[in-house]
Structure 1
Amino acid sequence: MEETTLDKVMEIPEDKTGEIVDNSLSQEEKKQFLKQKEKASVVSRKKYIEQVQLNNLRVRAQMLIEAKENTVE
């Protein structure tokens, strides 16, 4: 399975405040990590929103189908 950006982001240790605790990383690497983490978070949110919207459409379609079936009878 291909490793995603989110998988890579999860490998770097952080404390409870989100501060990176891996002292072997340079400041530039820490900044890059935080950018990747934010990007992964945004992508996850977008995918979640798309999934909710898709589920809402499915529910509406099912309701319309049921309403049409009920009016035909």
Structure 2
Amino acid sequence: MTSFTVIGHIACTDASFSLQDLPGKGGRMDLLCRAVASSLFLSHGIRKDTICDIILLGPPNPGRIIRFDGSALRSLSPD
């Protein structure tokens, strides 16, 4: 089992940011999304033996953890 942990020190912890502004108001949420994609996606599938944890430490509610478990993901496409 491979495990990745990525810490977002300024990543927003609520849905107040726009999807059009992930690098700005989202607190570099674009980098966190890229880290999840890079850790889980193969060229034609998902790594089933991988877990990626994202720790969000930004405002307004710091200390949120989001877990992406490759063995539990369904209907996810790299496109």
TM-score of the alignment, normalized to the shorter chain, above 0.5: no
Q: Structure 1 length as normaliser, TM-score?
A: 0.31
Q: In terms of Rg, which structure is larger?
A: 1
> Would you tell me which structure has more helix in proportion to its own residues?
1
Q: Structure 2 length as normaliser, TM-score?
A: 0.29
> Would you tell me which structure has more strand in proportion to its own residues?
2
The structure, 1 or 2, with the larger RCO (C-alpha pairs under 8 Å, 6+ apart) is 2
